[in-house]
Structure 1
Amino acid sequence: MLIRGNHFVLAVCVLCLGVWCCGQADNTEGEAAPMEKAEQAALYSVIQGFVDGLWYVTSLSIGPVHDNSLACATNAEFRPQLFQLKHLKSLSFFSCFISPSRDPITIPGDKWEELAGNLVSLEFRSNPGLIGQIPASFGYLKKLQSLVLLENGLTGEIPTDIGYLTNLNRLVLAGNRFTGKIPDSLGTLKELLILDLSRNSLSGHLPLGLGGLTSLLKLDLSNNRLKGKLFVHIPCPKNLTLLDLRHNKFSGGLSQHVEDMHSLEELMLSCNPLGGDITSLDWQNMQNLVVLDLTNTGLTGEIPESVSGLKRLRYLGLGNNNLTGNLPPKLASLPDLNALYLNGNNLTGVLQFPEIFYGKMGKRFGAWNNPNLCYPVGSMATTNAPYGVKPCQVQRGVTLLEPNSTAKLGDGNLNTNNSHFVASSGFPSYGVLGLVDALITVLVLLNLFPVDPRPDN
C-alpha cells in the first residue's frame, strides 16, 4: 500500500523489500527472478507520473492471504532492507516459512526499533518453519496495538519485554511451543482486549497481574499445563465475555469469584481436575451465559434447577463427572438450547423431557453411561429415544396420571384427548382406560387392591 499524506493513492505488490516472493504464473524457464533494478526504477517513475509529492509503503502483507496473492519463495528470507521501510504501519507474514526441518528460520533479533515510529500491527501466521524465540527487541515497538504470533514453531519463554507494549489491545501467541510461566509483566497491558496464549506448554499459576486487566474481553489459556485454584488470590477480569481454560491442571473447585463476571458469555473449564460441588455457584447470577462447558472436571452433587434459569444458554456440557440425582425437567424449556451433554455421570430416575425436545436435539442430547437413568417406554417414537439410555421397566397394572395431565379421576371422560395414564414410577400408559381401570387405579392408590408385582416379560 502506497500512501501520500493521509490519502490512499495506489496498491501494488512489493517484491524485493523485506521477504521477496515469486509468483505462481506459468513459467517454463524455471523460478521467477527478483525484479531488476531498471524495472524497479521504471515502476517508481511511473507512479511519480500519477502522484504528486512523496509516497511510501505503509502496509506489507507477504504470503497467500488471498486467492490472487503471490506465494512465498521456497527459500524465503528476511533481508535488512525490511527495516528501511520506516513508514510501515502494518506488517504480516502468512505461510511463508513452512518447513521446520529443511529450511528453518528465526525472526531477526535486532533492528525492530527502526520500525517503532509507526508500526501498529505485526503478525506471523501459520509458519511452522519459523523457529526460535520471540526477540526481546519487540519491546521497542511502543505503538504496537496488535501482536499476533499464531501457529508457528516458536519456542522458549514469553519475554517480559512484551509488558512494555502498553498500547496493545490484542496479544495472540497461540499454537506455538512456548514454555515457562506467564510473565507477570502482562499485567501492565491495561488496554488489552484479547489475550490468547492457548495451545502451548505454559506452566505454573496464573500471574497476579492478570487481575489488573480491567479492559480484557477474551481470555484463552486453554491447552497448556497451568495449575492452581481459579481466581482465589487474584481478582477476576470482570468485563470478560469469554473465559477458556480447558485442558489444564486447575483444581480447588469452582471459585465463587467467577460469579462476579456478569458479562461472561462463554465459560469453558472442561478437562481440569477441579472437583467440588456444582451447587457452589449461584448460576442465576450469570444470565449472559451462552456456552457452559464443565465436562470432565470431577464435579459432584445434583444439577441445580437454577441452571434452567440461564435463558441464553445454547450449549451445556456436564459430561464425565460425578453428578447424581434427577435431571431438572425445566432444562428442556431453555429456549435457545441446542446441545446438552450429561453422559458419564451417576444420574438416576426417569427422563421427564417432552418428546419434541428429543426430536429437536437428536444426537446433541447425550445421556449415555448413566446406568440408573431411563426414559419412559411408549411415550415417544423409537427414532427419538435418547441414545444410550435404557427404557424404563413397566409394572403390570400400576398406573398413575402423568404430572402434566389435565384428566381427573371420575370425570367420566377418560379418552385419548384429555387423559394420559402412566405407571406408578412415571412410565407410559397402555392406552385408553375405561372407568373400571380408573376405579382400580384409585384402589391401588388407597392400597385396597392387590397388584401383581411381577414385571412383564
Structure 2
Amino acid sequence: MRNFKAFGHVIIALFIISLSAWCHGQVELDKAPMEKAEKDALFSTIQGFVGNWWNGSDLYPDPCGWTPIEGVSCDLFDGFWYVTVLNIGPIYENSLSCAKNLEFRPHLFELKHLKTLSLFKCFRSQRRHQVTIPNANWENLAGSLRSLEFRSNTGLIGKIPSSFGVLKKLQSLVLLENGLTGEIPPEIGNLKKLNRLVIAENYLSGHIPDIFTALGDLLILDLSRNSLSGSLPLTLGCLTSLLKLDVSNNHLEGNLLKEFAYLKNLTLLDLGNNRFSGGLTLSIQEMHSLEEMVLSNNAIGGDIRILKWENLHNLVSLDLSNMGLNGEIPESIIQLKRLRFLRLSDNNLTGNLSPKLSTLPSLNALYVSGNNLAGELKFSMEFYGKMGTRFGAWNNPNLCCPLGAIATSNVPFGVKPCQQQIKLVESNTNGSDVNKTFYSIASLCHAPNHFWWTFPFIMILFLNSYIIGL
C-alpha cells in the first residue's frame, strides 16, 4: 500500500514538473522577439498601404504577440517571429483599410519568410492615384512566396510583371477584377508548382501564350472576361490534372481542340461568348468527368448528334445556346441522369421535342426556344407545373401544345395551341349525307378565360342541330 502511494506521489510530481515546463515554454513562445529589421520592414510596408498614421502602438509586445494585426500571421524561425501572411484590405471585419493614396514600398521585399500576399479592394480609384505592380525585387521572395493575390483593385493598372516568373515556389497566382492591361507574360510558364492560375476580369489582350507544357500540376485555369484573341494553345492538352478551364468572354477563335480528350479530370469547361467555329469536336465526349459545359454564343455550327452525349454521364449543366447547331435533339441526352440545366436555345434544331426528357430525374430547367422544332408537345401537366418559367419553348413556329393544356395555368409561354379538326356527318331533309368540316382553333395557350365558359354552349348548339337533323 505504501509503495502504491509513493508511486502516485511520483506521478503527480512528474505531472507538475511537465506542466510547469510547458507553461514556461508557452510564456517564452508568446514573448518570442521579432528582429528589428523585420518589424521595421513590416511597419513600413503596412504604412505604404494604409497610411503613415498607423504605427502599431497598440500591439503588445510586437505584431506577432498577444495582440496581432488582423490579416497578419507569423511563424517562428530560429527563435524569432517572422511574417508569413500579409492580407491587406477589408477581408475581415477589423482588417486594416487601405488609404486613397497608397504605394508599394521596397520594404515589402525584405519580408524574407513571406508565404502569402493578398491585396483586396485597395487600389480603387480608376482616375486618381492609379498604381502599377512593381517589376523589380520579386526575386527576394522567390524562396518563400506560395500565394500571390490581387483581387478587386480597379485602380491597379499596367502590365503583369514578367518578373513573376522567378517565383518558382508559387502555387497560386490570382489577378482578379483589376485594371491590368497588356499581354499575359510567357514567363508565367516557369511557375511549375502552380495549381491555380486566375487572371480574369482585367483588360488583357493578345494571344494566350503557349506556356502550359511544364504546368502539369495546374488544377484551375481561369482567363475569362478579358480581350484575349487568337486560338487556344495546343499545350492545354498537357494539363491532365486540370479541374476547371474558363476562357469565356474573350475574342478567341478557331476550332475546338482535339487535345481536350486528354483532360480526363476536367469538371468545368466554359468557352462561352467567344468566336469559336468549326463544329463540335469528338474530343469533348472523352471528358467523362465534366459536370458543367458552356459553349454558348459561339458560331461553332454543325450537327448536334455528332457526339455520344451518353459518355458525359456526370453532366449537371449543359449550355449550347446560340451556336448555329442543327439536327434533331439526340435521344442520348435522356441518359444524362444528373442533368439539372439544359439550354439549347437559338439554334437550328429540328424534329419534335421528346417527352422522355421529362424522365430526367434532376432536370429543373429546359430551354429550347428559338429553333425549328415541330409537332405537339406531349409533356404532362405535372412536368409543366414542376418547371414553371424554367421551361422555354417559344419562337418555334411549328411547335404547338394540345388544347387540353389550355385549361390549366401551367402551360408553356409563347407556344400556340394545336389545331384540332372535328369532322361531323349530317343528314339533310332529302336523306343525303353532307360532310361538313369544322375547325376549332383557339387563340394562344394563355387565352382569356371568357372563351372557355362559352365553349360548352357552342357544343350544345352543334349537338342540338345534329339531333334535329336525325
**Structure 1 counterpart of 2:47:** 20
Residue pair 2:139, 2:167 contacting (<8 A) in 1 also: yes
CA contact (8 A) 1:112 1:138 kept: yes
| Counterpart contact for 2:138–2:166, Cα < 8 Å | yes
Counterparts in 2 of 1:351-362, with a 5 A limit?
Answer: 351-362=377-388
Q: Distance in 1 between matches of 2:67 and 2:193?
A: 38
Q: In 2 relative to 1, CA 22–166 (structure 1 residues): closer, same or farther, beyond 3 Å? A: closer
Instruction: Report the Cα distance in structure 1 between the residues aligned to 2:29 and 2:325, rounded to whole angstroms.
Output: 57
* C-alpha contact (below 8 Å) 1:271/1:296 kept by paired residues: yes
* Pairwise CA distance, 1:16: 3.2
Q: Is the 8 A contact 2:48 2:105 kept in 1?
A: no
Change (3 A) 1:69 1:452: farther
Measured against aligned partners, the alpha-carbon deviations of 1:112-132 in whole angstroms (never above 9, x if no partner) come to 110111110000000010001
Question: TM-score, with normalisation over the residues of structure 1?
Answer: 0.80
Give how far 1:236 is off. 3.9
Any residues of structure 2 matched to 1:12-411 within 5 Å, and which? 16-20=43-47, 33-35=53-55, 39=57, 43-44=61-62, 47=65, 53-232=79-258, 235-379=261-405, 381-397=407-423
- CA separation of 1:169 and 1:454: change in aligned 2, threshold 3 A: same
C-alpha distance after superposition, 1:276-312 (max 9, x if no partner): 0011111111111111100000000111111111111
Q: Supply the distance in 2 between the matched residues of 1:451 and 1:150 (Cα, whole angstroms).
A: 74
Question: One-letter code of the match for 2:62?
Answer: Y
Instruction: Give a deviation string over 1:340-392, Cα, whole Å, max 9, x none.
Output: 00010011000011111111111110101111111111236431010111111
Post-superposition offset of 1:76? 1.6
Aligned to 2:438, the other structure's residue is in SS state: coil
Measured in 2, the distance between the counterparts of 1:74 and 1:283 equals: 53
Q: Structure 1 residues 235, 207: closer, same or farther in 2, change over 3 A?
A: farther
SS at match of 2:437: coil
Cα 1:8–1:277 change in 2 (3 A) is farther
- The 1:454–1:189 alpha-carbon spacing in structure 2 relative to 1, beyond 3 Å, is same
Change (3 A) 1:452 1:290: farther
Tell me how far 1:92 sits from its aligned partner: 0.1
The amino acid across from 1:258 in the alignment is: I
- Distance change (3 Å), C-alpha of 1:450 and 1:119: farther
Structure 1: gaps (5+ residues): 24-30, 399-439, 441-448
2:438 is the counterpart of 1:454: yes
How far did residue 45 of structure 1 move? 9.5
Whole-Å separation in 2 of the counterparts to 1:338 and 1:364: 7
Deviation at 1:35, TM superposition (A): 0.8
Matched residue type, 1:154: L
Distance in structure 2 (CA, Å) of the matches to 1:388 and 1:9: 70
Deviation per residue, 1:219-242 (Å, 9 max, x gap): 000001111111136754222111
Contact 2:287/2:312 (<8 A) preserved? yes
Q: Would the aligned equivalents of 1:290 and 1:313 in 2 still touch at CA under 8 Å?
A: yes
Verify the 8 A CA contact 1:355 1:380 in the aligned structure 2.
no
Cα gap change, 1:450 to 1:218, in 2 (>3 Å): farther
Measured after TM superposition, the shift of residue 140 of structure 1 is 0.8
User: 1:188 Cα shift?
Assistant: 1.6
What is the alpha-carbon distance in structure 2 between the residues aligned to residue 157 and residue 456 of structure 1?
Answer: 64
CA radius of gyration, larger in: 2
Q: Is the 8 A contact 2:261 2:287 kept in 1?
A: no
Counterpart secondary structure, 2:163: helix
8 Å CA contact 1:15, 1:21 repeated in 2: no
**Equivalent pair of 1:304/1:328 in contact (CA under 8 Å):** no
Letter in 2 for 1:307: I
1:413 corresponding residue in structure 2: none
CA RMSD of aligned residues (A): 2.9
CA contact (8 A) 2:423 2:435 kept: yes
Residues 1:71 and 1:211: Cα distance change in structure 2 (over 3 Å): same
Aligned-pair identity in percent equals 59
Which residue identity is paired with 1:44?
D
Q: 1:411: which partner in 2?
A: none
Partners of 1:45 and 1:319 in 2: CA distance: 57
Instruction: Say if 1:158 and 1:22 are closer, same or farther in 2 by CA, change over 3 A.
Output: closer
More helix as a share of residues: 2
* Structure 1 counterpart of 2:430: none
Query: Is contact 1:188–1:209 with CA below 8 Å preserved after alignment?
Result: no
Equivalent AA in structure 2 for residue 251 of structure 1: S
**Secondary structure of the equivalent of 2:384?**
helix
| 3-state SS of 2:140 partner | helix
Residues 8 and 379 (structure 1), Cα distance of their counterparts in 2 relative to 1, 3 Å cut: farther
Report SS of the residue matched to 2:175: strand
Q: Which amino acid aligns with 1:456?
A: S
Q: Match for 2:43: what amino acid? A: C
Q: Which moved more, 1:113-122 or 1:389-398?
A: 389-398
Q: 1:378 to 1:42 in 2, by over 3 A?
A: closer
Q: CA deviation at 1:454?
A: 2.7
Distance in 1 of aligned mates of 2:63 and 2:440: 95
